[in-house]
């Protein structure tokens, strides 16, 4: 995750273990079943089908209390539920709050694996940044998430639970307004589970009713998956992690590019724009002395000149043990100016939560450093 950092943050936040409520391994998480499966479960046991809606409402919208506290359900049903189901499959292992108010959760899955997600507040926006995989297979050379490779995909219930755990931190009158899929993992490598999770979260009837246009999916750029997502006819905002304007430099920074190639990535992004009408954002992490040179900004402008594109520059958030640094503000300003002079729409990402390692697998790393391999 690159987003979370604010320059004013100085003191380190405290790490506090969250209250334990370990779910039993043999009970199914409520969100592992669809609304249809829930209706069938109720009817098969002689309950009215509408009880399914009540249970899901409690978990998704009414902030997931224990079954016993679902007071509009008959007591006997609450006991039956407790025997077979658990409200959440995942638990909050750690909760950090940065001095700027950014919350970061380390979530523990039922198999003991851990992922990270973040809640950021800015004006009226409440944005969550969620993970899609445990680890990442892409091995972008500057990123902490891929240092150990990928362990597995998250299932759709685990992805939805990230959003709900973060939403549950908000006061009752607030809710999540935006989602960025920029946590650990390559989002489109787990497209089916991600799409199912987002459908559920965005559903006005059964989810949180978040508009698809307020969801950003960030990808390293897997052309076939971008086209598949385009064909799903959703309105998600696509962000492609470009990071380099030439084949040679991108191969170096984003090794999967060797097998894919810049042209294929750009063409797939063009398909996404044509099909959905949504402007594509190109993310570009600025690494001092590596891809922030004047010739890089000029080459980037040429590459995107005829595209309906937006560039989001991400000043690098240094990762312990990796040999990359953030450019000086003057270098960032020069990069921006070159793009603007050439008519490219560009913003620089404001970063939050630096004191709590709210970036790219960094908190998880700090909590279990002994299991980490040395970076390549």
| Nearest one of 71, 81, 10 to 353, comparing CA atoms | 10
Q: Are 142 and 131 in contact (CB under 8 A)?
A: no
> Does residue 158 bind ligand SAH (CB under 6 A)?
no
Q: Please give the sequence-ordered ranges of beta strands (E in DSSP) within the chain, or none if there are none.
A: 15-17, 28-29, 85-86, 91-97, 103-108, 114-122, 125-129, 133-135, 150-153, 178-181, 215-219, 237-241, 280-286, 309-315, 345-348
> Does residue 218 bind ligand SAH (CB under 6 A)?
yes
- Of 9-17, 202-210, 217-225, 255-263, which segment contacts ligand SAH by CB under 6 A? 217-225
Cα separation values, 34 from 63, 136, 156, Å: 18, 27, 10
- Taking residues 324 to 363 in sequence order and writing x for each that binds ligand SAH by CB under 6 A, - otherwise, the string is -----------------------------------xx---
In terms of CB distance, is 86 or 187 closer to ligand SAH? 187
Shortest distance in whole angstroms from residue 254 CB to ligand SAH: 8
> Does residue 290 bind ligand SAH (CB under 6 A)?
no
> Does residue 190 bind ligand SAH (CB under 6 A)?
no
Please confirm, yes or no, whether 116 is among the known catalytic residues: yes
- Of 63-71, 109-117, 182-190, 228-236, which segment contacts ligand SAH by CB under 6 A? 182-190
Contacts of 149-153 with CB under 8 Å at 24 or more apart are 150/185, 150/186, 150/189, 151/113, 152/113, 153/185, 153/189, 153/190, 153/193
> Does residue 215 bind ligand SAH (CB under 6 A)?
no
Q: Are 161 and 90 in contact (CB under 8 A)?
A: yes
Q: Are 246 and 298 in contact (CB under 8 A)?
A: no
Q: Are 106 and 114 in contact (CB under 8 A)?
A: yes
Taking the C-alpha atoms of residue 103 and residue 349, their distance in angstroms, rounded to an integer, is: 18
In terms of CB distance, is 1 or 301 closer to ligand SAH? 1
- Taking residues 125 to 144 in sequence order and writing x for each that binds ligand SAH by CB under 6 A, - otherwise, the string is -------------x-x-xx-
State which residue has the least CB distance to ligand SAH.
2
> Does residue 41 bind ligand SAH (CB under 6 A)?
no
β-pairing, 178-181 vs 114-122, is: unpaired
Among 134, 176, 265, 319, binds ligand SAH (CB under 6 A): 319
Shortest distance in whole angstroms from residue 29 CB to ligand SAH: 25
In terms of CB distance, is 59 or 287 closer to ligand SAH? 287
> Does residue 276 bind ligand SAH (CB under 6 A)?
no
Taking the C-alpha atoms of residue 179 and residue 282, their distance in angstroms, rounded to an integer, is: 17
Please confirm, yes or no, whether 83 is among the known catalytic residues: no
Among 155, 161, 186, 357, binds ligand SAH (CB under 6 A): 186
Shortest distance in whole angstroms from residue 230 CB to ligand SAH: 17
Catalytic residue among 108, 109, 116, 202: 116
Exposed/middle/buried for residue 361 (C-beta within 10 Å: 0-12, 13-18, 19+): buried
In terms of CB distance, is 85 or 284 closer to ligand SAH? 284
> Does residue 2 bind ligand SAH (CB under 6 A)?
yes
Cα separation values, 222 from 15, 248, 292, Å: 36, 18, 24
Shortest distance in whole angstroms from residue 322 CB to ligand SAH: 8
Among 283, 292, 296, 357, binds ligand SAH (CB under 6 A): 283
Q: At which residue do the structure tokens 């954002």 appear?
A: 281
> Does residue 73 bind ligand SAH (CB under 6 A)?
no
For 324-356, b where at least 16 C-beta lie within 10 A, e where not — what string?
bebbeeebbebbbebbeeeebebebbebbbbbb
> Does residue 219 bind ligand SAH (CB under 6 A)?
yes
Q: Which residues are catalytic?
A: 116, 360
Q: Under the rule (CB under 6 A), what is the footprint of ligand SAH?
A: 1-2, 138, 140, 142-143, 182, 186-187, 218-220, 241, 283, 285, 314, 316-317, 319, 359-360
């Amino acid at each position: 995750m690159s987003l979370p950092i604010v320059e004013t943050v100085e003191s380190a936040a405290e790490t506090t273990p969250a209250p334990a409520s370990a779910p039993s391994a043999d009970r199914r998480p409520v969100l592992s079943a669809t609304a249809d499966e829930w209706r069938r479960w109720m009817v098969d046991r002689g309950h009215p089908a509408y009880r399914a809606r009540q249970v899901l409402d409690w978990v998704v919208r009414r902030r997931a209390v224990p079954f016993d506290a679902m007071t509009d359900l008959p007591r006997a049903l609450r006991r039956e539920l407790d025997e077979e189901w658990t409200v959440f499959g995942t638990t909050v292992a750690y909760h950090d709050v940065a001095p700027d108010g950014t919350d970061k959760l380390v979530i523990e899955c039922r198999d003991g694996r851990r992922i990270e997600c973040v809640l950021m507040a800015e004006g009226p926006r409440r944005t969550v940044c969620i993970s899609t995989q445990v680890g990442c297979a892409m091995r972008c050379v500057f990123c902490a998430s891929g240092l150990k490779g990928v362990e597995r995909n998250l299932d759709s219930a685990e992805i939805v639970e990230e959003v709900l755990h973060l939403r549950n931190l908000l006061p009752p009158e607030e809710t999540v307004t935006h989602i960025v899929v920029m946590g650990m993992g390559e989002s489109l490598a787990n497209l089916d589970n991600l799409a199912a999770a987002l459908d559920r979260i965005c559903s006005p009837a059964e989810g949180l009713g978040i508009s698809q246009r307020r969801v950003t999916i960030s990808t390293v750029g897997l052309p076939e998956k971008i086209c598949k997502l385009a064909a799903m006819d959703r309105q998600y905002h696509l962000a492609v992690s470009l990071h380099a304007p030439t084949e040679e430099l991108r191969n170096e920074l984003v090794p999967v590019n060797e097998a894919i190639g810049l042209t294929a990535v750009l063409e797939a992004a063009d398909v996404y724009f044509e099909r959905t009408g949504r402007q594509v954002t190109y993310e570009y992490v600025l690494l001092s002395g590596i891809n922030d040179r004047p010739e890089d900004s000029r080459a980037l402008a040429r590459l995107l000149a005829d595209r309906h594109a937006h560039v989001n520059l991400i000043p690098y958030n240094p990762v312990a043990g990796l040999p990359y640094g953030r450019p000086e503000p003057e270098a960032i300003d020069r990069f921006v100016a070159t793009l603007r002079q050439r008519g490219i729409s560009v913003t620089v990402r404001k970063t939050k939560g630096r004191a709590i390692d709210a970036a790219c697998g960094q908190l998880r790393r700090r909590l279990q450093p002994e299991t980490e391999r040395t970076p390549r």
